Each structure stands twice: as C-alpha cells, then as structure tokens.
Structure 1
C-alpha cells in the first residue's frame, strides 16, 4: 500500500475540522499544505464524503432536506509537490479508489429547490434520497429496485490552488453574473408556467465567498479572516479543474493539471462510487467516503509547451463495459419555447424523456427515475450544435443493468435486438 499522506478517522462522525490534520472547503492560495510529496511517487489520500457525514443510512430524506451546504465540499489537502512552479503541468495518475470498509454504502440525493435544487428542480422540487449498498464492484438500492450495476468509481473534485490573480478573476466574473440578474436561477426570462418576472428564485446564479463555515486547513487568526473573506466556494468547476464530476476519470486515468502557485497545492475529494453523465440531481452521484491512490509527476513548463490553461486527461481502461443501450433524444425546446442552441435545455429534455419512459417500464416514481439517472453509468452525448435553432443531445441507458426487458414490445417482427 502507498504511503498515507492524509488520514481520516474511521469514526466517520468526526468532522473534517477535528481530524489530526484538517482539510479545507474553499479555494485560496494561502491555505497551508497538509503534506509535501515528491514527483515520481505514489501516495494514498483518505477522504470524507463531500458533506462531512451529514447523510444517514435511512429511508427518509430529512437529512438531504435539512443539509447545510455552506461547509461543502470537504477536501483532503492541499499537497505541495516538490519542484512545482507556475506554468508547469502536474501529472496525476489515478491508481486505485474505493470505499472504507467501515461504510459499505453510499447515497444519492435530490436537494429541495430552496436548498440548492438540482437539474430538474422545477419538476421535482422536494428532497429525496436513495441508499446504495456496495457488493465489491457492484451496487444496488432498496430505494430504486430492479437495477444492479458495476460502479465507475472516480473523484468528483480535484484541482490545484489558484494564484491570487486567478482567485480575483473568479470572484470578479461570478459576482458580475450575480449582479446581472440576482433573482434568477438561469439568468434567462421565466420559462415555466407560474413563474413571476422579478420574483425571487433559488438558488442564486453563483455562490460568492462565504466566510461562515469556511475551513482553510490550519490557517487561523487574522490570516484566516482575510482569506475567508475572498476564498472561492468549491461548488463550480473552474480553470484549475475543481468540481468537474467527469465520470470517466476512474482507475488508470492520467490527468494533466495546470500549476498556478509554487508547489501546486493539489487537493482532492468528493469521491463517487458511480455516476451518470451530468450528475443531474446535484448530489447526484453515489457519494462515499473512502481512499484514493495517486501517482504524481511534473512536466516543467508544460502549460506553454502544450498551450493549455485547463486540465486535460487520458481516461483509464478500468470500468463497466456496456454494449447495448436504450437512447433518448432531447432538443432545446421547453414548455413551448425555443432556446437558441441551448444544450443544457436539450439535455434536460432528454432526461425528462427517459424518466417518462422508465416510470411505467420499471414501476418507479418520478423521483426514483431521477435518482437512478444521477447514479447509474448513463452516457450523455452532444448530437449537434450547428443546426439552428435547436441543439440535440442524447442520453443512453445500459440495458443489462435492469432485471427485466424494458424495450418496447410488439414491434420488429419478433426479432430479438438484445444479445444473450
């Protein structure tokens, strides 16, 4: 086993704040490194779940409904890499990942609309939850019956610390977005029946710095106060990576990350046992605490050499291998309104089309189908972004994960389209 450079108490009720070395839940260049590592070596990093143990293994969703999102995400790190300098590329290989033995389960949640919401918050405004039990590489849920699948485990969030200038730029442009239309979710005119122009909508367009509940590693005193006032939230992805939720970054993947500060100050967390493209419920993967083994290396001057200012990666070869899918289409038309080349609207429509099909096919509620699409290894794809006025996307669901044949019956002349 690689050397453990960040350890989490196996009493998972112990907050990240009370670990021997605390992690952090904001981005700021002044957060002190939790450890220093050498290029060319592998290390194990232990992680809390992203909410810091706010979710219970229960049959109600009160914990999701009442969740305090202000302390999220809880990240392990930062880790200084010897010799890393601004302009380098940090090379991170994902060697292994898994849950703690002490918690052989994870969860998927839909936040209530007034507490963050999700991709389909106007269609499912109340909180809901599914618990998923782990059986080696497999998972199933008593709350979403009829499916069992192999996890595509990966980290949802990782990145290097921003430089002071980059942090300032993040805050400038995100505040400008809020200021442009502070009462709207999407920054667009009301699109759904019942919406009132000018009425307050939640959540906000972006999340400005919030000193309340901030954790900045071992930073304390006036240095903490100054940093917490401008430290960026971890919710969105940005140029350094961050909360990208890319399900293909599993074991065997190699990630090339831009370095903005001396030492890089790399952090990681938000481990997922499985996830569908888009993580559409917001708390939408199968979230878990656990460990991740990483190998670090450096490409000196790599940002200029490869003309990249954002992470790029080579996906690994380890993961579920599905060959047959049922695919649903979505276009950028919603509630009788055309949205010009809007792939977000199109993907929402593909998700709704899939949910409307799965509800009778699997005898599920809307919420069960919604939770399933966030957790299962579904494939989202861009079909077209040039055929005005509509973008087209697709959402593909592996057929073999169901306990029954969900294809339409009574067509095709009796030909069987699924492999034995």
Structure 2
C-alpha cells in the first residue's frame, strides 16, 4: 500500500533548502503517494515533500519510477505528469543570503527561529534548472524513470506542479512513485545531474 500523507496538515514548499524537514520516509524499493496542490500566491509551483529516503547519503543516487498520476479523488489521468521533481540542494549550492520575500518552507513556518535563516538562502525552482527534472525537459508521466544524485542525507525528494492535458494546467492531484537507492551511484555511474527517461 502506498504511503499517503495528504490527510495530514503538511504545508508545501515553494523553495529548496536542505534544512526543510522531511514529512515522511520511504525505504529503498518502497512506493509512496504524494498529494500535490497547484500553484501558490503569484503562481509559484507548490512542491510536495520533502520525502526522506532511508539510508541515502551524499554521493548516492535515487532512481524514481513514476507509477501513476491522477486528479484529486483518486481517478488516474493518462498523460498527466509532474512539472518538477528533484532532491534538496547541498549547502554549497545555496545562494548568498538575501532578504526573504515570504516563501513557503514546509514545517519551517514564519515565526520560528529557523525561518529567516532558511528563507534567506532557499533556492527558487527556476534557479535549479540543471539540478531537477522539469516538464520543460520531458513529460515524466506514468512509466517514466528519473535518476537523481543525492546531495543531502535522506535525499529529501520533492515533487509538484502536476500538469493535466495539453494545456499543462497545474491542478491539485496525486502522484505515485517508487524509489530505489543506489549507494555511491554518483561515482559508480558518473551521474552529475538528473537523468530523465520519459515513456
């Protein structure tokens, strides 16, 4: 049975940062259903996660298989795909601190002591084009595979901005993923960025 945390009160996130806490865990070979929302605020992609992969360490690789994508209510949607999927960046990939503009950071909420330091260096999705898979590169629908290098402990996988139909309109929905961990995959297979294998 896939793990679903859509029933929990877990806010999404609109930026990437290694200190955004994971909302759930998955073991290698396990599957998970991630309940995604559409856009937030000024049409920023609202990401679901992060999901910690048990045993993942920097230098490892996770292989993510897209098992299915569907609209809210459980109905599968052939041809649907995520707009973005990726792992958290490492500290070395964070920008110089800037004045934050109120991003969503999952469980790191405004008012907490950790919020301002994390918000000041969190990365926008648009700035991570070479580090994450996006629908501008490939439509990663059911049957697709994504290979992602791990940069932080647990990998901290996030996905979101689900697209349905030719208009690629981001709506609420779900995506089922299976995750496999390959130890030292970066060194063994020379994986330097996301490898996208659409159907």
Equivalence map 1:49-88=2 (5 Å): 49=38, 51-52=39-40, 68-69=42-43, 72-88=44-60
CA-CA distance at 1:38 after TM superposition: 0.9
CA-CA distance at 1:226 after TM superposition: 0.6
> Does the Cα contact within 8 Å between 1:40 and 1:296 map onto a contact in 2?
yes
Q: Where does residue 2 of structure 2 map in the other structure?
A: 2
Q: Distance between the aligned counterparts of 2:98 and 2:47, measured in 1?
A: 17
Q: Which residue of 120, 130, 133 corresponds with 1:229?
A: 120
Q: Where does residue 271 of structure 1 map in the other structure?
A: 162
RMSD over equivalenced CA pairs, Å: 2.4
Q: Distance between the aligned counterparts of 2:170 and 2:99, measured in 1?
A: 24
Q: Could you say what secondary structure the match of 1:7 adopts?
A: coil
> What is the TM-score of this pair, normalised by structure 2?
0.88
Structure with larger Rg: 1
CA-CA distance at 1:274 after TM superposition: 3.0
- Unaligned 5+ residue runs, structure 1? 9-18, 53-66, 105-135, 138-150, 173-207, 276-283, 317-420
CA-CA distance at 1:161 after TM superposition: 0.4
My pick for the range that moved more, 215-224 or 298-307, is: 215-224
Q: Where does residue 193 of structure 2 map in the other structure?
A: 310
> Does the Cα contact within 8 Å between 1:26 and 1:233 map onto a contact in 2?
yes
Q: Deviations over 1:9-67 (max 9, x none)?
A: xxxxxxxxxx6121211111110111111111111110001x13xxxxxxxxxxxxxx6
Equivalence map 1:302-381=2 (5 Å): 302-316=185-199
> Does the Cα contact within 8 Å between 2:138 and 2:198 map onto a contact in 1?
no
Q: Which structure: greater helix fraction?
A: 1
Q: Distance between the aligned counterparts of 1:311 and 1:234, measured in 2?
A: 14
Q: Which structure: greater strand fraction?
A: 2
1:255 aligns with 2:138: no
Q: Kindly indicate whether structure 1 or structure 2 has the higher relative contact order, using CA contacts under 8 Å at least 6 residues apart.
A: 2
Q: Where does residue 326 of structure 1 map in the other structure?
A: none
> Does the Cα contact within 8 Å between 1:73 and 1:235 map onto a contact in 2?
no
Q: Where does residue 182 of structure 2 map in the other structure?
A: 299
